[in-house]
Structure 1
Amino acid sequence: TAVSPWAAQAQETPGADGPLWLRYRRPADSDLLTQFRAAFKRVAAFGDDPRIANAEAEVRRALTGLTGTEPASGWSGEHGTLVIGTADASPHLRIDDADALGPEGFAIRVECSGRRVKRVIVAANAPAGVLYGVFHLIRLLQNGTAPADLDATEAPDLKLRMLNHWDNLDGSVERGYAGRSIFDWDALPEISQRMTDYARLTASIGINAAVLNNVNADAAFIDAPMLAKLAPLCAMLATWGISPWLSLNYASPIVLTADDEDPITTADPADPRVQDWWGAKITEVKAAIPALGGFLVKANSEGRPGPLDYGRTHADGANMLARAVAPHEGLIVWRSFVHEDFGDWAEYQHRVFAPLDGEFDDNVIVQTKNGPIDFQVREPVHPLFGTLRNTNQTAELQITQEYTGQAGHAVYLAPMWREVLDFPTGGPGTGPTVAEIMAADRAGLAGVSNFGDDDNWTGYDLGAANSYAFGRLAWSTRADPADLAAEWIRMTFGLEPDDTAAVAGILLDSWRTYEDYTSPLGMGYLSNPGGAHFDPDPVGTVTQSHHSTGAGTGFDRTVSTGTGFTGLYPDAWTEVYEDLDTVPDELLLFMHWVPYDHRLRSGTTVIQHIYDTHFLGVERVREFADAWAGLAGRVDPERFAAVADAFAAQIGHATTWRDAIVAFFFDLGRVLDEDRSWTQVAVPGARVLIGGWGNRVAVEVTNASGEARELTARLAPAEGDWGAATLDVPSRETATAVLP
């Protein structure tokens, strides 16, 4: 058996206290513990490959934690042996239907005498399958599966299961909320425990590719000094079945030859010198990183260089690079996220890429975000998925929560991803689904990672549920988000069934709850598009994501009277989205502009729905906090306190969102809430200087109730008393109090 140089390092941390969901603790059920100990006395591994060596090291680590006893090594023929390896490496690993497993699938078989386990076998056609099979076995044991019930046969639904890291050369992470880059470029070529644990975690959920650097790429990542630093990291990742990738700066020929005697001054894909430069550079990169899978490119988007700068198309640019990587059996993933103006950026990507269908080389994959805007809490599924029928495609999801609460809101995104994968692109009930399109030979799923160097890896303790669910959905696109949540909870916290159900209830409601108190009915962007994308700013996105007035709200994207976006889908979907009687309520304001008194299928008006969901959403977060509080004493004190504090902060920020959005719409429409009343207060102006008669403070007070109110405004400075101003404010009116 090969010995992995990374396996010993991975053994340094006790199995019971591993990172995130790789916690290997003895079961509380004494009968199950007895079964584990009887079934796993020994581990025998067959096959000469570092991935098998890592699989053996991991399962030994897991069994030591789960049973309290380190298993013996090697084949002896005794009962209670776990046998792992490739089917051609030992007669003990022969299985039926091995061809159906492919290069990454596996079979787990249990040989029993009655209920007594004689032998457990994890067999595969290739080392990667052995690794994935071992992690699946461990997952089953962590979730309380009895050894006699371990039989399983699995192969991944998707060929490419990729993480995209937006990690910068300076160690920062764009749209990262969990600290700095886990790759610690300055420390390379030394491999840290964190890097090895990253490889273990990602391999455990079936990830087989990782783009290490930001799509807004620095050309230095493919320069010789950086390649020398990256080489050991990439070699380590490969021993865990993870193909390393790099993001490219399209202007690299210009940047990296700037100090040459005869620098290249263009990145035109039709220029022979540019083509030769890329051919030589990719050969150099491949020599330094033999396991390299390919390159990810963001071009002509948000100021990035690209082929359009030279009058070429995206296909021209992608194909030039594809031909340079083809001799090395590499792939180019080319992002379709491009936009020029904000008139209606929903349709721009389709306008650019749809005419190019069929023009990309076979080793090019076009990577498209799940929706046509930018990872909003609710968007329609991107029409490009159903349009690019002659182009390899990858769907891009965002695990890091750029627009869905970042590290400040517990939002489990798997239910949203499930809807995206299940979307029938041909029309209601008419395939192929997005998942089926991504199952092609050169296609897959990419997720923008939420990992960082924070102790909890993801910025808040519940955020790792998204990391876990992404990998599991990429492996099995039919997986149920509820099942994945329960798996993750049991593996992470080791809770009993009732407590697991309580946490699962939080996770499964969290996405729609966040939608309730932020962006209603598919409206999308209600935070500043040029800022942090965290705080509410509905005024800042008027005309970009909504056209709210005193009469109504939404965005008319219909063919008949709007931007025509609804016509980018097949006719069956166009008919659904174009008609107010058939458009789904959750996408109403994405597709249509409607008056505030438009009635939804529930019977309530649009404005009342906005009020109701924002108030009820905040109350639901309070219920989340209460449910978590009920777990006191059943979750370790440190993580219990961290999650409790996070929910307290989430209640505060959810309240900020509620108040900002409700006040915005009341200010515009002056429509009263049927069930509630409130008072809105604003201090106009960018600055308020307190002190002196000339700096009196004007306070605007709005009465959002059905009757006149006497309202008093008072200023309480650190010293002195400015007094108060009392006003009679009619219903739905605004008055100004001047202090003092």
Structure 2
Amino acid sequence: MPALAQPVLGTEPSAATLPAEDGYDLWLRYGQVEDSGQLKRYRAALQSLVWQGGGALQQSAVDELVRGLTGLLGTRVRPRTSAASGAALVVGTPTSSALIRELVPAADLAELGDEGYVVRRVTRRGRDFTVVAAHADRGVLYGAFHLLRLVQTRRPLEHVDLTERPAAPLRMANHWDNKDGSIERGYAGRSFFDWEKLPQLDNRYTDYARVMASLGINGAVINNVNTPADYLAEPFLTKLAALAGVLRRYGVALYVTANFAAPIDLGGLDTADPFDPAVRGWWTRKAEEIYGKIEDFGGFLVKANSEGRPGPLDYGRTHADGANLLAGALRPHGGIVMWRAFVHDSDEKWDRQAYLDFTPLDGKFADNAVVQIKNGPIDFQVREPAHPLFGSLPGTNSMIELQVTQEYTGHATHLCYLVPQWKEVLDFDTLKAGEGSTVARVVTGRVHSYSHFGFAGVMNFGDARNWTGSHLAAANTHGYGRLSWNPDLTAEDLATEWTRMTFGNDLHVVETVSALLRDSWRTYEDYTSPLGTGYLTHPPDGSVTGHLDPSPTTTTQFHKSNREGIGYDRTAATGDGYTKLYAPAIRDAYESLENCPEELLLFLHHVPYTHRLDNGKTVIQHIYDTHFSGAAQVADMRTRWEGLRRRVDHRRFTDVRRQFGEQIARAGQWRDTLVAYWFELSRILDERRSWLQAIVAPADTALLGGERNELPVQVVNATSSGLRTVTTLDLPEGWQSEEATSYVASREGETVRIPVVPPPTPALATLHARPRSGTVQALDSSLRSLAKAVVVPPAARCVHALDAGPDSAPVLKGYTRLSPTSRWQEGAAFGWVGNTPAATDTGLFDVVRRDYVRSGAPTVLRLRLPAGRCTAHLLTGDPNTFNRPLIVRVDGTETARSKQLDGREFTWLRIPLDGGSSGREVDVELSTGEDHTWHLSACVVLADDQERA
């Protein structure tokens, strides 16, 4: 397919004349063409809109043309059934329009299938017609959006002659949305699929369908791959049917993720074994039920036997057996099953588990089953090789899974335009079927005889007003959709196209924003994971901030750093043999230190820090340089954006400027944390820079309020000479501390103990250790220089000092264990009444936060209070997963409610209590108000005189 045509350049308004925009329209902005010459030419070419009828898809196409051209041309456009005098836009199919039959040979359109189209300038009897024509209605819809895109990007229509058809039949949007409104790996608010209100419809569903159709996306999986079975039963089927009705009008088929254990969870069976006749019968009946409500239902997506999900391997069967079970139920209705190849047990075989599981099954999957393969062998990292499964399944339908949402690439905080990364993967030649067997050709059915193939994109949409949480993140959505239609498009062209459609055609804006997008992936890679270092982020465990910030000390199983070197040896000669999964020529290149692509060096090899790269630098010096230069590039990105102040509307300009400010801070954390980490291991000085670094260990600590505590801080000297240092703590108001001095030799570390006295009442605080020595730079943004402290009062000051958790876990000195066995007894000071909770010890964090009691049901803790007023402080949170709001009721009345807490986030709830004149028992009920689990790590009760101390 040809490269995108160049636009005719025109003038654009200044920011003062631009209305404030909130980003809701994404790239479907239809403001009037500003250049008077261009506007005159467009109006001359599109004097009328001729539509001679058609189905619902054509109606959607005409509605969009009316909306778009009315805005772009600044004049009301109304469809008519015949061509008046003057040039006209004609849309339709040969079946629906006599004029189309006259203007475009039907044979030309039949060759394009049901989704292809032409946009063509035709002259008949001295009159000019711009034609959007297709063999079928869906092609008309896609062609209409293409015509609008041409006008939006100011491309001339005088000689337009475009022929388009999609490269693959499956172009999917995968939404990891949950029925409670949360989104796994979602960074744009909550789900816009409102399951509480459906089947009541919202206009946003129509706009979503319009956006998908504008990219040629023709299918949407609307629920998370980690799904319960509920979506396959009422009331969800009625809700799904209503949603499918909206999507249908824009050519988007509805799919759902199916839980493999649904026959057990919904059907009451005691097995989900794919060979069990009762199981097969259940799925057959379920498919009939679904298609009875949604006649064009697309089918199922399945995640099985991975990360704890149920699947056929639970019964000694294979992935093919499981996929074929569902494929058989769907086949009579024309549905398909997309079976994810993301299978691992978080062990050393993660990189090759999918290859080992699926290649022996090649040719054993049903013809309406498709294996959905992630772009790389790990998990959407900023850099990893193309997945070795591509090209290794010649007898099995295959499709590629790309992650549009930025799970490992900065969430909605970092600008990281992923189209260049996807292009590298798509253009990668697997050589599995000879030269030219690129990933793109594999997943578009041009290498093997697949019946189903294509693209799946894990979406970045939420209920944020601008859909993606960041105005710039929408470029990834646009780029994914356009690549799924035509993977031969270039990243540069797509960046330019999106910029013109989103921010207008001011040449300076186009050049600046396009360049920011194109450079951003490599910039992000530089300050996070150069040379293919790999997985370096905090684990997710349900955390919204999971996979955002650096955590090299907890991810060593992926990057294998030690005092001698860095990198994961995946070679056949000395490592785990992963390189053998590729074609011989690629295997040999990956196996060789001399020929291995340097951007993948540390993914494939473990090398000394002093290993020399092609640029002459050592690996450790390259790591230092890229982290510093990458972070500096982010600051430059903001400067370049600020140059658009008078050219972009104020609201979006301000939003993006704020995002760059956040990205600068986060990039500094990545730089300082990782540079400090690898210096600590290697003790090799940076040839260009010197610094001091502080390490607070343990970083999560419990402090006694109102008393002197000592915080251990290691001060490390990354200069060429010994230094006398002074280390202080940044403290919240009301805290007290002293400085600590030490002498630290070059390339050595010394531990100082800094006295710190917190206020006496329960609190949470972040303490920042800052070493100083003259003018030497300190890596102040390193996350390892921070202490996340929980403050608890000494037990002697408390009415109750309860450390919650299992009986086997450590207890804070002086505190009493509150465990599931702490049942209320007559005369006791505290205990559970009725239901009792479970308990968990995570082994993470400090002695107070590492463990907790928990329950999915309302649970009552009875406390004996002395006379007088007092205050209870309840500590809730989890070192791993997010927490629903904890609701606290005292004697039946709600007295406190926490916010929803992210993983690793805690909060103290303050509950006033009254023991009356002689003391009494009080019942404190803990719940979430739903069937979710509450957590309690500590319960502290202070008399009011101690509360005020």
TM range (shorter): over 0.9
- 1:639 paired residue number: 652
Q: 1:696 aligns with which of 710, 715, 719?
A: 710
Q: 1:714 aligns with which of 713, 725, 728?
A: 728
- 1:45 paired residue number: 51
- 1:613 paired residue number: 626
Q: Does 1:673 align with 2:686?
A: yes
Residue 31 of structure 1, CA deviation: 0.4
Q: 2:109 aligns with which of 89, 98, 121?
A: 98
Please give the alpha-carbon distance, in whole angstroms, between the structure 2 residues aligned to 1:704 and 1:526: 22
1:117–1:147 Cα contact (<8 Å) kept:
no
Counting only pairs closer than 5 Å after superposition, residues 460-539 of structure 1 correspond to structure 2 as 460-531=470-541, 532-539=546-553
1:298-324 per-residue CA deviation (whole Å, 9 max, x = no partner) reads 111111111001010000111111111
Please give the alpha-carbon distance, in whole angstroms, between the structure 1 residues aligned to 2:675 and 2:350: 26
- 2:311 paired residue number: 306
- 2:591 paired residue number: 578
- 2:369 paired residue number: 364
Please give the alpha-carbon distance, in whole angstroms, between the structure 2 residues aligned to 1:517 and 1:690: 38
Aligned structure 1 segments of 4 or more residues deviating by more than 6 angstroms: 14-18, 690-693
Counting only pairs closer than 5 Å after superposition, residues 22-33 of structure 1 correspond to structure 2 as 22-33=28-39
- 2:128 paired residue number: 118
Counting only pairs closer than 5 Å after superposition, residues 197-346 of structure 1 correspond to structure 2 as 197-257=207-267, 263-346=268-351
Q: Does 1:730 align with 2:745?
A: yes
Please give the alpha-carbon distance, in whole angstroms, between the structure 2 residues aligned to 1:20 and 1:169: 26
Between stretches 141-150 and 662-671, larger displacement belongs to: 141-150
Please give the alpha-carbon distance, in whole angstroms, between the structure 2 residues aligned to 1:340 and 1:72: 59
SS at match of 2:472: helix
Residue 691 of structure 1, CA deviation: 7.4
Please give the alpha-carbon distance, in whole angstroms, between the structure 2 residues aligned to 1:583 and 1:720: 54
- 2:395 paired residue number: 390
Please give the alpha-carbon distance, in whole angstroms, between the structure 2 residues aligned to 1:363 and 1:691: 64
SS at match of 2:717: strand
- Percent sequence identity is 50
1:411–1:511 Cα contact (<8 Å) kept:
yes
SS at match of 2:256: strand
Letter of the aligned partner of 1:724 in structure 2?
E
Please give the alpha-carbon distance, in whole angstroms, between the structure 1 residues aligned to 2:624 and 2:154: 44
- 2:86 paired residue number: 79
Letter of the aligned partner of 2:701 in structure 1?
R
Q: 1:132 aligns with which of 126, 130, 142?
A: 142
Please give the alpha-carbon distance, in whole angstroms, between the structure 2 residues aligned to 1:416 and 1:424: 15
Residue 483 of structure 1, CA deviation: 0.7
2:343–2:353 Cα contact (<8 Å) kept:
yes
Please give the alpha-carbon distance, in whole angstroms, between the structure 2 residues aligned to 1:725 and 1:217: 52
Letter of the aligned partner of 1:500 in structure 2?
V
Structure 2 CA distance for partners of 1:117 and 1:24, relative to 1, 3 Å: farther
Q: 1:600 aligns with which of 613, 622, 629?
A: 613
Residue 89 of structure 1, CA deviation: 2.3
Q: Does 1:191 align with 2:201?
A: yes
SS at match of 2:681: helix
Letter of the aligned partner of 2:89 in structure 1?
L
- 2:578 paired residue number: 565
Letter of the aligned partner of 1:89 in structure 2?
S
Q: Does 1:378 align with 2:406?
A: no
Structure 2 CA distance for partners of 1:18 and 1:697, relative to 1, 3 Å: closer
User: Unaligned 5+ residue runs, structure 2?
Assistant: 1-19, 446-450, 756-949
Residue 121 of structure 1, CA deviation: 0.8
Residue 330 of structure 1, CA deviation: 1.0
Residue 427 of structure 1, CA deviation: 6.8
Letter of the aligned partner of 2:83 in structure 1?
S
Between stretches 126-135 and 422-431, larger displacement belongs to: 422-431
Between stretches 460-469 and 699-708, larger displacement belongs to: 699-708
Please give the alpha-carbon distance, in whole angstroms, between the structure 2 residues aligned to 1:584 and 1:213: 38
Letter of the aligned partner of 1:267 in structure 2?
A
SS at match of 1:385: coil
Corresponding pairs, count: 720
Please give the alpha-carbon distance, in whole angstroms, between the structure 2 residues aligned to 1:463 and 1:366: 28
Letter of the aligned partner of 2:145 in structure 1?
F
Residue 524 of structure 1, CA deviation: 1.4
Residue 91 of structure 1, CA deviation: 3.1
SS at match of 1:232: helix
- 1:4 paired residue number: none
Please give the alpha-carbon distance, in whole angstroms, between the structure 2 residues aligned to 1:660 and 1:268: 48
Structure 2 CA distance for partners of 1:331 and 1:427, relative to 1, 3 Å: closer
The TM-score with structure 2 as length reference comes to 0.74
Residue 428 of structure 1, CA deviation: 12
Please give the alpha-carbon distance, in whole angstroms, between the structure 1 residues aligned to 2:243 and 2:711: 60
Q: 1:655 aligns with which of 668, 676, 681?
A: 668
Residue 147 of structure 1, CA deviation: 2.5
Residue 401 of structure 1, CA deviation: 0.4
Residue 690 of structure 1, CA deviation: 7.6
Residue 561 of structure 1, CA deviation: 1.0
2:391–2:432 Cα contact (<8 Å) kept:
no
- 1:5 paired residue number: none
SS at match of 2:429: coil
Residue 99 of structure 1, CA deviation: 2.6
Please give the alpha-carbon distance, in whole angstroms, between the structure 2 residues aligned to 1:715 and 1:286: 64
Please give the alpha-carbon distance, in whole angstroms, between the structure 2 residues aligned to 1:579 and 1:18: 49
1:129-168 per-residue CA deviation (whole Å, 9 max, x = no partner) reads 0000000000000000123143211111111110101111
- 2:936 paired residue number: none
1:248-279 per-residue CA deviation (whole Å, 9 max, x = no partner) reads 0001111112xxxxx31100000001101100
Between stretches 658-667 and 64-73, larger displacement belongs to: 64-73
Letter of the aligned partner of 1:69 in structure 2?
T
Letter of the aligned partner of 1:699 in structure 2?
V
1:538–1:664 Cα contact (<8 Å) kept:
yes
Please give the alpha-carbon distance, in whole angstroms, between the structure 2 residues aligned to 1:217 and 1:192: 24
Please give the alpha-carbon distance, in whole angstroms, between the structure 1 residues aligned to 2:492 and 2:415: 16
User: Unaligned 5+ residue runs, structure 1?
Assistant: 1-13, 258-262
SS at match of 2:110: helix
- 1:67 paired residue number: 73
- 1:260 paired residue number: none
Please give the alpha-carbon distance, in whole angstroms, between the structure 2 residues aligned to 1:29 and 1:666: 57
2:86–2:127 Cα contact (<8 Å) kept:
yes
Structure 2 CA distance for partners of 1:325 and 1:671, relative to 1, 3 Å: same
Between stretches 375-384 and 30-39, larger displacement belongs to: 30-39
SS at match of 2:111: helix
The TM-score with structure 1 as length reference comes to 0.94
1:40–1:71 Cα contact (<8 Å) kept:
no
Structure 2 CA distance for partners of 1:626 and 1:244, relative to 1, 3 Å: same
Please give the alpha-carbon distance, in whole angstroms, between the structure 2 residues aligned to 1:121 and 1:481: 28
Q: 1:151 aligns with which of 161, 169, 173?
A: 161
**What is the Cα-based RMSD across aligned positions, in Å?**
2.0
1:351-378 per-residue CA deviation (whole Å, 9 max, x = no partner) reads 1111111110111100010000000000
Residue 45 of structure 1, CA deviation: 1.4
Please give the alpha-carbon distance, in whole angstroms, between the structure 1 residues aligned to 2:56 and 2:39: 30
- Pair member with larger Rg: 2
More strand by share: 2
Please give the alpha-carbon distance, in whole angstroms, between the structure 1 residues aligned to 2:116 and 2:583: 35
1:369-409 per-residue CA deviation (whole Å, 9 max, x = no partner) reads 00000000001000001211111001000000000000110
Letter of the aligned partner of 2:485 in structure 1?
W
Q: 1:164 aligns with which of 164, 174, 188?
A: 174
